[in-house]
Structure 1
Amino acid sequence: MIKGLRTAIYPVPDMEQGKSWYTSVFGVAPYFDQPFYAGYAVGGFELGLIPDGTPGPAGSRVYWGVDDIDAEVERITALGASVHSAIQEVGEGIKVAELNDPYGNILGLIYNPVFKLEDVR
């Protein structure tokens, strides 16, 4: 049985720069920090950074939940991201946006008033 999102992994060309940027974005430091992997606990899920691999938009799309998508897009672009896909409503009040991180990965954001945290297993 698939239990939902647990980990999103993004490759970064410079681990120290990547950790610094993602620490600023998510407001937490990695709980697991090794040269081969940095793991962040973000709202019950995990963001992992790896120093190998090729950053870019060809990988998986992962959307991180937010309460105010407009404010988060503004905050994260001020930290150095650029807009890949502007905020758009996709139905039932759900809004999504995609940002390019400084390394070429796509960082997805979602405001989903239908999502129920208590359903996470």
Structure 2
Amino acid sequence: MANPHGTPIWYELLTDDQNAAETFYAAVLGWTIAKPDMGPPGIDYRVASAADGPVGGIMKKPEGAPMPPAWLIYFGVNDVDAATARAKDLGAADHMPPMDIPEVGRMAFLADPQGCFFYVMRGFSPQDSRAFQAETGPVPGHCVWNELATPDQDGALAFYGDLLGFRQEGAFPMGDLGDYKFWHVGETRIGAVMPRMPGGRTGWQVFFGVDDIDAAKQRLDAAGGNTLFGPSEIPGGAFTIVCADPQGAQFGLVGPRKA
């Protein structure tokens, strides 16, 4: 994949129940979910696709994994081995060293110095990934925002700026909680970094686009999801919901209010 270094190129759900997750996300986001011919050897890996292409994978959380069910982000890099070595120099932990997945790509699984998990990857396909789409507003079924909550905002800005070339530009003040600082890769705003909220979680959270936030909320409720916050209006006129699937993996929804 030739996506610019630092671009989110894939999303992955680690879950305790793949079948339940497949049913849930198909209902809420309209994904088509299938088992591909290629993938990690010996692993039940399912690929979720929006109407115009694949977005991410669903796999069972490995036994003993040091994390609850969660969505993870793959960031595209020019060289996985070099990126992994640099991440370790910057204080990251290497939980899975660089490895090749036949016909898919080379990747490594890391945790930043604050313990937030993510992947770095270089895909073998000559085509660019379109899993992340935010150029024209919320795109139904695709990830449209990548948000990091961290106990060390300045440390995260320095780490991801060095490793992935993230450029911080612009911010939204949150009063006593600090600033919600926007991140760019090139000219594309990919998400933001924020201080961890009191009692809140640490880590990356992904937001998927929907065509109508209220209709999505109805689908979420009917499928057994849990609304944690919202719907709330955000700059630009869209609305967002922070939620969790029935297995506890947190994610977000973003879209207009049509009613």
What TM-score range do you get, normalising by the shorter chain? Answer: 0.7 to 0.9
Alignment of 1:32 with 2:176, yes or no, is no
Determine the C-alpha separation between the residues in 2 that align with 1:58 and 1:50.
Answer: 22
One of 87, 91, 98 as aligned partner of 2:231: 87
Say whether residues 1:8 and 2:8 are aligned partners. Answer: no
The match for 2:217 is 73
- The alpha carbon displacement at 1:17 in A equals 2.0
Hey, which of these two has a bigger chunk of strand by percent?
2
Q: Which residue of 2 aligns with 1:49?
A: 58
RMSD: 2.6
- Residue correspondences, number: 113
Question: Do the aligned partners of 2:29 and 2:210 also contact (CA within 8 Å) in 1?
Answer: no
Deviates further, 90-99 or 39-48: 39-48
**Residue 85 of structure 1, CA deviation:** 1.1
Percent identical across equivalent pairs? Answer: 24
Mapped to 1, the partners of 2:8 and 2:54 lie a distance apart of: 7
TM-aligned CA deviation for residue 14 of structure 1: 1.7
Separation in 1, partners of 2:7, 2:254: 15
Q: Kindly report structure 1 stretches of 4+ aligned residues shifted beyond 6 Å.
A: none
In structure 2, the CA distance between the partners of 1:65 and 1:86, relative to structure 1 (3 Å rule), is: same
**Within 2, Cα distance between the matches of 1:5 and 1:29?**
21
TM-score by length of 2: 0.38
Contact 1:32 1:40 in 2 (8 A): no
The answer on whether the counterparts of 2:30 and 2:50 sit within 8 Å (CA) in structure 1 is no
User: Are the aligned partners of 1:6 and 1:45 in contact in 2 as well (CA < 8 Å)?
Assistant: no
| Structure ID, larger Rg | 2
Write the letter of the residue equivalent to 1:12: T
In 2: Cα distance, 1:2 partner to 1:42 partner:
24
- TM-score norm. by structure 1 comes to 0.75
Whose RCO is larger (CA < 8 A, sep 6+)? 1
User: Cα 1:23–1:66, aligned 2, differ >3 Å: closer, same or farther?
Assistant: closer
- Aligned-partner residue type, residue 49 of structure 1: I
Give ranges in structure 2 of 5+ residues lacking alignment: 71-200
SS across alignment from 2:230: strand
Query: 3-state SS of the aligned residue for 2:204?
Result: coil
Asked if 2 retains the 8 angstrom alpha-carbon contact of 1:88 and 1:96, the reply is yes
Question: Aligned in 2, Cα 1:61/1:36: closer, same or farther, shift over 3 Å?
Answer: same
Q: Deviations over 1:67-101 (max 9, x none)?
A: 21011011111110011111111212121111110
